[in-house]
Amino acid sequence: MLPFDYISLGLVSRVEGRRFNDMELFQICTALLTGGQETTTSLLTNVVWRLLEAPERWERLKAEPHLVENVIEESLRFDPPINSHFRTSLCPVQMHGAELPERSKLMFSMMGANRDPDIFPDPDSFIMDRPLNQVKRHLSFGYGVHFCLGAPIARLEAQVGLRKLVECLPDLRLTGSPERIDSWIYWGQRELPVAWD
């Protein structure tokens, strides 16, 4: 009997009568590994960077800590930890006058989708108190069957982490320019130079 975990489940599962191939299993394992580590780290460094690059934002969050959830969601919208996703169309699709045949390889930008002015007014501005019912329409955790399994824990970790930073390091400040992760898929900080008294 196999242990019950996602990798073992992937090895024995069948979808429409067939098992996952090696590439599909590799992609599942990669998503589980990076989704639980790199993305949450990037979420936290992105939100802290956005708050500290404009010190009035940090000061406002200290004065209005009830905005933590809004700020986390706005950071997810404005600076999604994963900038691009890849998909394969399962059937022919017509979109904006273009015909995409079945099995077309697609890449879409989370950052572009999250800045749609029809969904998000003033999309190129980081708005700390953007209403939750609006800002949570971002696609940073995916959508539908591809929605991130770890979204609830990532949100919780980010909220707890940001609350603790504001509470324990109220005088946190940038001391230099951050160094971005060298990737066109991931969007985060490799280094975020900060100091506190």
List, as one string, the DSSP characters of 106-146: EEEEHHHHTT-TTTSSSTTS--TT--HHHHTT--TT--GGG
Residue 85 has pLDDT above 90, yes or no: no
The residue to which tokens 């999309």 are assigned: 123
Residue ranges making up the domain that contains 168: 21-120+127-195
Task: Work out how many domains the chain is built from and give that number.
Answer: 1
Residue 6 has pLDDT above 70, yes or no: no
Region 44-65: what's the mean pLDDT? 97
Q: pLDDT band at residue 185, thresholds of 50, 70 and 90?
A: confident
Residue 2 covered by a domain = no
Residue 191 covered by a domain = yes
Q: Token pair for residue 187?
A: 């969007």
The three state secondary structure string of the chain is CCCCCHHHHHHHCEECCEECCHHHHHHHHHHHHHHCCHHHHHHHHHHHHHHHHCHHHHHHHHHCHHHHHHHHHHHHHHCCCECEEEEECCCCEEECCEEECCCCEEEEEHHHHCCCCCCCCCCCCCCCCCCHHHHCCCCCCCCHHHCCCCHHHHHHHHHHHHHHHHHHCCCCEECCCCEECCCCCECCEEECCEECC
Residue 51 covered by a domain = yes
Residue 60 covered by a domain = yes
CATH code of the domain covering residue 186: 1.10.630.10
Q: Residue 108's pLDDT is what? A: 85
Residue 8 covered by a domain = no
Residue 94 has pLDDT above 60, yes or no: yes
Residue 5 covered by a domain = no
| pTM of the predicted protein model | 0.82
Q: Residue 59's pLDDT is what? A: 98
Residue 33 covered by a domain = yes
What integer best gives the mean pLDDT of the chain? 90
Residue 4 covered by a domain = no
Residue 67 has pLDDT above 70, yes or no: yes
Q: Token pair for residue 163?
A: 């609350």
Percentage of residues of the chain with pLDDT beyond 70: 94
